[in-house]
Structure formats: C-alpha cells, structure tokens
Amino acid sequence: MTDIFDILIIGGGINGAGIARDASGRNLKVCLVEKNTVGSATSSWSTKLIHGGLRYLENYEFRLVRESLKEREIIKKIAKDIIKPIPFIIPHIPTQRPKWLIQIGLFLYDKLGGKTSLPKSKKINISSAIPNILKNKYNTGFEYYDLQVDDKKLVQLNIDDAKRNGAIIFENKTVTDVLRNKDFWSIKLNDNTIIQSKILINASGPWINEVLKKTIKINSKKVIRLVKGSHIITKKLYEHNKAFTLQNPDKRIVFVIPYKKNYSLIGTTETEVETPDNPEIDKGEIEYLINTVNNFFIKQISSDDIIDTFSGIRPLIEDFKEASKVTRDYVFDLNTSHNNAPLLNIYGGKLTTYRKLSENVIESLKPFLPSNLLTSWTGSKEL
C-alpha cells in the first residue's frame, strides 16, 4: 500500500468510528485499524443510553451536560432507526436529595441544551402513575426523558458511512510498530503491511496508554483510571415502558431500563480495576445491583433471576476523586514533538458526545490538514 493517508486511527470504538466518518466525509484519506471487530469492547458494553448526564450537574459539569444535551437532540435525528425516547422515573428519597434540588437539576436539564423535541420533566404521584411497581414508601417521583440506543449498531453505522466515503477499515489487525518521520508516520501491522499516514490518532479507549507506551513508544503525560461498569439482565420486572433512576445512599445511581421487549437491564457499578482486558462482573457487583432493585421494587429478585451479564471498562482521566465524581469529559493530547508528524491521543469521552468529539478532533488538527478542508457535516446527514 503505497498511498499516504491523511489520518490513521488506532481503535474502532465509537470515537474512532466517528472520527473516520467525519474525516472521510471531508474528502480526507482515512484508515482505521481495530484489533478485534469494530464496536466490540467499551462501545458495546454501555448502558445503551444517549443522555445529557443528569447527575453530572452535581459535579458542576455544566459545559459537558450542555454539549451532551445538544448532541442528544442531533443523534435523535441522524440515528432515528436505532434510537427510542424513554421516560425515566426518579423515586424521591427525602434523606438523600431534597425535592427542590432535584427540581432545580431537572429544570437545568430541560433548559441547558436549548430547544428539544423530548417532553419536559415533571413531578408525578408514583402510586397513581405507575401503580404496583415500587414499594409504598416511594410516593413522589420525578419524570424526565433520555434516549435508548443500540450502541454497537451506532458504531457500525458510523463505520459503514466512513467506508462509503472511501475510508479503509482494518478489523482483527493490530499495529505492532510505528516509525515517526518529519512529515509522516510509517505504521506496521501484524501481517507486516506497512501504511503511511501524515497524522496518527490514538483512539484506543482504555488501552490508550498501553498503545502509547508499547507501540508508539512515548510516555503518557496523563494518568487514566480504569473503572468497570457492570450490568445484569433479568426477565422484565414490570410492564410499563418506563425506566428508573435509582439513588443509593452512597450517591451512586443505578438504572433499571426496559431492554429488548422481554427483559430489564440493570446497571451500572463503578469498580476500579488494573487492566482493561476481559472484564467480568464479580459477586460484589451482583449483590449491589440486586440489593438496589430490592430496596425499591415490590418484585424481589435474586441471582437466580439473572439471564445474562456484561461489563465494560471506562477510561477516566485521573483527577483523584471518587469514581462517581471523576469527569466523563474528553481531553485531547496533541503531540508534535520536534515538529515531527502529529500524534493525537484521545482521553475519555462518552457515547453521547462521540460526534462532537470527532468534529473537535478535525478542528484541532486543522493546522496539519489541507487548507481547502470541507466544513463540518455530520450533524445534518442521517446515518
């Protein structure tokens, strides 16, 4: 392969897929290399939500929530075949967050993203609106809307569009070595294919620092924390097409969401781990999720009711807070050491903000791209 690419992306998760789509649609020559199949790791282990991040408001992350809410509206339009609006109920617990605080949070959630096609939040009487689901002590609730998504399909749709735009996608291949020159990278794959690219993007998610250190041979300036989020799937716990946002005494949130018609998806936990490889739910996480459900629901569950489980690793940028308070925002680390070919490392991010992240990647790389680069386009074209 003698052609030189404008951009080569390591990592075929949602961020890599989004960047490939955006860049290829601007007539850039794009190559993406994924060590497994696209969307097979973190991007398909999520809670399957496109959401603004209501609880991020407690950490004063107004910019992230605003961007996420704006993206929620855009993704609702461009990926409508794999998106479903879904109402969430927050049962009120007086000993945790007072009603006024939840109402202020929901007011901001309704307003921060600007105009939205989703219904506004409201206070509800749980026993009359959704009887015989929650225990009698939960009388007052608050309803708001977010979106449910097929996360792996979202990755695939972005990859398919990138291919239509001329991107070259390698699956089940790894980058084994790179050589940095002044004007381009020489990238070697495990089948000895050599690829040249003007820019290298490391979008390998929880493996980012491993790829940076072992393959690209640069020490990272940023520390990441690997946090495992686990889910259990049971037969559906109730008939209503509503989800629940359950508040725990430790301030963590657990979602109970209708899933694939006949099931309930329950998650997520936040457990720190040392490695991103082969994540599995552990006994403590199962007990935590079961206990949360049983604290709220009339219908009680046990481990015997679990049909399936899955776990994913989130790479969070270390800021030495407890896991639930560590930002879900993204950070770019642009390396142009000694005026050599650029390297962009992408830290963090979440499913909801992938499209904007991709757009911002191209914006940050503009000094190294052709001057006649096409303008941003992914927010108006359906997947």
Query: Could you tell me if residue 374 is inside a domain?
Result: no
Same domain, 317 and 234: yes
The per-residue pLDDT for 325 is: 58
Query: Could you tell me if residue 377 is inside a domain?
Result: no
d(CA 30, CA 362): 12
d(CA 348, CA 307): 31
Q: At what angle do helices 354-364 and 62-78 cross, to 10 degrees?
A: 110
Query: Could you tell me if residue 176 is inside a domain?
Result: yes
Query: Could you tell me if residue 256 is inside a domain?
Result: yes
Query: Could you tell me if residue 338 is inside a domain?
Result: yes
The per-residue pLDDT for 319 is: 61
Structure tokens that stand for 145 in this block: 């809307």
> Which residue segment(s) compose the domain that 121 sits in?
55-146+224-321
The per-residue pLDDT for 125 is: 97
pLDDT above 70 for 52: yes
Same domain, 158 and 300: no
| Residue 95: band (very low, low, confident or very high) from pLDDT cuts 50, 70, 90 | confident
| Residue 99: band (very low, low, confident or very high) from pLDDT cuts 50, 70, 90 | very high
Same domain, 103 and 240: yes
pLDDT above 70 for 324: no
Query: Could you tell me if residue 376 is inside a domain?
Result: no
Same domain, 103 and 248: yes
pLDDT tens digits, one per residue of 184-231: 999 999 999 999 999 999 999 999 999 999 999 998 888 899 999 999
Same domain, 138 and 229: yes
Cβ-Cβ contacts under 8 Å for 82 (sequence gap 6 or more): 149, 150, 153, 154, 157
Write down the mean pLDDT value for the chain: 95
Give the position of tokens 């903000």.
353
| Residue 2: band (very low, low, confident or very high) from pLDDT cuts 50, 70, 90 | low
Same domain, 141 and 239: yes
Answer whether 0.85 is exceeded by the pTM: yes
Same domain, 229 and 299: yes
Question: Total structural domains in the chain?
Answer: 2
Same domain, 27 and 158: yes
Same domain, 137 and 165: no
pLDDT above 60 for 321: no
Same domain, 237 and 338: no
Least confident of 115-124, 188-197, 310-319, 344-353: 310-319
Same domain, 256 and 165: no
Cβ-Cβ contacts under 8 Å for 160 (sequence gap 6 or more): none
CATH number of the domain within which 136 lies: 3.30.9.10
d(CA 215, CA 63): 34
pLDDT tens digits, one per residue of 8-25: 999 999 999 999 999 999
pLDDT above 50 for 1: no
CATH number of the domain within which 16 lies: 3.50.50.60
Same domain, 63 and 210: no
Query: Could you tell me if residue 26 is inside a domain?
Result: yes
Q: How many residues does the chain have?
A: 383
The per-residue pLDDT for 220 is: 86
The per-residue pLDDT for 283 is: 97
Q: What angle do CA 4, 188, 184 make, to 5 degrees?
A: 35
